[in-house]
Amino acid sequence: MSMISNLEPTKVFSYFERISKIPRCSGDEQAISDYLVQFAKDRELFVNQDEANNVIIKKPGTKGYENAPIVILQGHMDMVGSKNFDSNHNFETDPIDLLIEGDMLTANGTTLGADDGIAVAYCLAILDSDDIPHPPLEIIITTDEERGLVGAVNADVGPLDGKIFINIDNEDERELLVSCAGGARFNILLPIIWDTYDKALYEGYRVLIKGLKGGHSGADIHLNRANAHKLLGRVLYSLNQKMDCKLITVAGGMQDNAIPREAYAELLIEKSDIADFKAECDRLSKEITHEFKTSDSQIKMEVDEITDLKDKAMADATFKALTDLIMILPNGIQTMSADIEGLVESSLSWGVLQQEENRIILSAAVRSSVKSLKGLINEQLKIFANQYGASYAIKGDYPEWEYMRESKLRDICTGVYERVYNHEPIIRALHAGVECGVFAEKIPGIDMISIGPNLYDVHSPDERLSIPSAKKTWDFLLEVLKEIK
């Protein structure tokens, strides 16, 4: 018996459970893409799989809707693969371990993948139905959204004829999204110089920052949650200033579009400084937990001795360059919109701290609803990289989605929303990337909106989907489709 077989809408959650068994982290979407293709072929529906593994499926309008305007429904098949450090989950082979906690659907120690698996499930449920009235539909499910809307950027939209576009990648049922930020991924690549050292003089310790809330680096950036990399950099900087220590390993985060929840470093501490080292770690731990007692009340800093010491440590110059960089690099909100009250206009978040054999990579998600400000932030980051002998790379650049003053689709959705929910929706611009901006460039004159059920703490192992909200959003979507004739 399926653990979610009794959830409503039944067909939606049935398909969500099916796709949760298929590996579909960003960059590993071949299996899920092929599944969608076979799904369409089994039902004798038009299907197109392009070179980027995006999938388009078409279904004719139902009786009375044969000549209605074509509606494009869109979501992405990939998910962020993030897990707790103590989880043994393998995203390449293991199904997502789904859990029900009250009225929430979540996963065991990993991301849930409702961002954006719920959109895929909605689309499959509609395509598989014979009792839902709807206009002609063009479903496009994209790949690699979470790493910079890559699938959408490379999508072949030639088969698409529709001019009405409903994106299902919002995370709040109260809202109708009408605009979003553009963004890019900025990587700083710092070379590592290695030195030998006298093992007899040092002891090894692992410093772990954990327990942060994390979250989406765009949608949650206004919450001022702690960034594990910035905290670890602060700790390393202080230790390096006050005692003889050397850095062996540093790492943290899993996705550059998620606020990192955990980061760690392996250090060598001169034996004569061990007491001072522990005292300083204790001081910093208390300082950090006090500062973030409201936004990240579960922060912990753990210090454990390690005995398997490597033969090399990073040179003092590399250690200093890294800690200085992490300390001075901007992070979080950069500008607020003067046009839309409460909207974050520009931001960046350092999501991944990765060590390779001869370099350290710092990866940030840069976002702005103003193209020139995104460019300005990138230029500033180039200066920081150059000052510390690092190189840089920009990838995954995607456009913003500008607000349309007149929109028939928005008017329809607003009217249906008021009828279904008995109150007005929030019309909102989002400080995160959705694929509407890319498709607006590819399909001139398209009328767009973005909707979705309530999701919480996406891109983190605390990700949750509200089960009642998934049902209400499903009902809302079906009513909108019924209205388009």
Tokens of 7: 């959830």
Is 175 catalytic? The answer is no
Q: Give the angle 54-465-252 at the CA atoms, nearest 5°.
A: 75
Q: Give the angle 237-335-328 at the CA atoms, nearest 5°.
A: 15
Do residues 204 and 218 touch, judged by C-beta distance below 8 A?
A: no
Tokens of 271: 């034996």
In one-letter notation, the amino acid at residue 445 is G
> Going by C-beta distance under 8 Å and a sequence separation of 6 or more, which residues neighbour residue 48?
55, 56, 156, 159
What is the C-alpha radius of gyration for the chain, rounded to an integer number of angstroms? 24
Do residues 147 and 257 touch, judged by C-beta distance below 8 A?
A: yes
Catalytic residue among 145, 345, 435, 463: 145
Burial 354-378 (b: 16+ CB within 10 A, else e): bbeeeebbbbbbbbbbbeebbeebb
Q: How far apart are CA 170 and CA 432, in angstroms?
A: 10
Catalytic residue among 17, 29, 50, 78: 78
Is 78 catalytic? The answer is yes
Tokens of 78: 């990939």
Q: Using omega within 30 degrees of 0 as the cis cutoff, is the peptide bond preceding 9 cis?
A: yes
Q: How far apart are CA 155 and CA 169, in angstroms?
A: 17
Q: How far apart are CA 369 and CA 339, in angstroms?
A: 11
Which has the closest alpha carbon to 232: 275, 270, 285, 283? 285
Q: How far apart are CA 122 and CA 469, in angstroms?
A: 13
Q: How far apart are CA 179 and CA 232, in angstroms?
A: 35
Q: Using omega within 30 degrees of 0 as the cis cutoff, is the peptide bond preceding 116 cis?
A: yes
Q: How far apart are CA 113 and CA 70, in angstroms?
A: 28
Residues carrying an active site annotation: 78, 145
